[in-house]
Structure 1
């Protein structure tokens, strides 16, 4: 992922705050023997307090073909993309130029976590991992205890494998026209508010937030 200086995260707290509310992504694993990469959509829970760059926990069904690929190459990437929208060319036309001379582009936020994957098969360790996920997705505690041999989930444990992703590096990008003149960026924010298509409110919020951060 190319990250120009004007699209880079302002600091670690920017991408960490964003990732805290984005817990669905794609796990990318090298395919064995020159095959294309495996790309697995999944929910996950990210804990920034574990390790130097944080840790991710998730689980997948035992028959998933991704396990052989992880065993062959445990270096994986978890990719999360959201808050995207399309910016028509006329919105970015230089001052005094015909509107059709503007260049269309995409706005989006993206975080890529490079990780070392650790497969969890021990029943007690899998149960503990599932509790960490449940604590993230159902913090109210409205779920049964996960324990080997205990109802209702104990009988399901053999059918899954846990996955702990040790994050070794983070690449974060907030592509919201940071290289454009400030007046143009504010005009684009106004147009996003008027269009109000799916993705526009979040993209506008990012653009205004990053403008305010550079103002200060």
Structure 2
């Protein structure tokens, strides 16, 4: 990922927070048959390894796990994003030398991916994923709510994955390269949008 210094995120805690805030990632592997990408939810365990470890699963018919990777894998996490019109910049009225851009948050995690079929490890991953995404519900569904033999049968239809992270690229492009008056205009413009994601981006733009 292209990382200009003013957009780069260096703090590991901030990078992990961005990854955990992304509900769906894309796992990309390079194989002898070419690149393969799969959208899937991933769990980040920040306690494992220097940069954390990712866990998830793919469908058994998915060829991605059957084709040996030719190098490291990449997991792509994206956060809120928004189009920025130059009409919001104060500098538009000054000289007109402005163009549209896009504000966004993105993290690329790299590492060697391991695919596994062990039922107990799969059950652990599925349980952790379920607990993560059910915890905000008043009546959270649990894997144990379903019959054990049914769950075991379902596990035979998936393959687990583990990816210890060896390096991270993280970018928060939120108008930091614009002067304060321009950033204020973008905040006001996005903040007035009917789109909740636009308003979320507005709240992420720094004023200093």
From 73, 88, 92, the counterpart of 1:91: 88
Of 39, 42, 57 in structure 2, the residue corresponding to residue 41 of structure 1 is 39
Unaligned runs of 5+ in 2: none
Task: Note the C-alpha offset of 1:125.
Answer: 1.9
Higher relative contact order (CA 8 A, sep 6+): 2
Q: Give the superposed CA RMSD.
A: 2.3
Are the counterparts in 1 of residues 81 and 102 from structure 2 also a CA contact under 8 Å? yes
Shift of 1:160: 1.0
The question of whether the paired residues in 2 share the 8 Å contact of 1:92 and 1:104 is answered with no
Q: Does 2:83 align with 1:82? A: no
Query: Aligned equivalents of 1:88 and 1:49: distance in 2?
Result: 41
Q: 2: CA distance between counterparts of 1:196 and 1:6?
A: 29
Structure 1: give runs of 5+ residues left out of the alignment: none
- Determine the C-alpha separation between the residues in 2 that align with 1:131 and 1:146: 11
Kindly tell me: are residues 161 and 114 of structure 1, through their superposed partners in 2, closer, same or farther at Cα, counting changes over 3 Å? same
More helix by share: 1
Partner of 1:124: helix, strand, or coil?
helix
- Give the match for residue 144 of structure 1: 143
Asked if 1:108 corresponds to 2:97, the answer is no
Q: How many residues align?
A: 204
**Matched position secondary structure for 1:85:** strand
Moved over 4 A (4+): none
Task: Give the TM-score of the pair, scaled to structure 1.
Answer: 0.85
Structure 1 partner of 2:178: 180
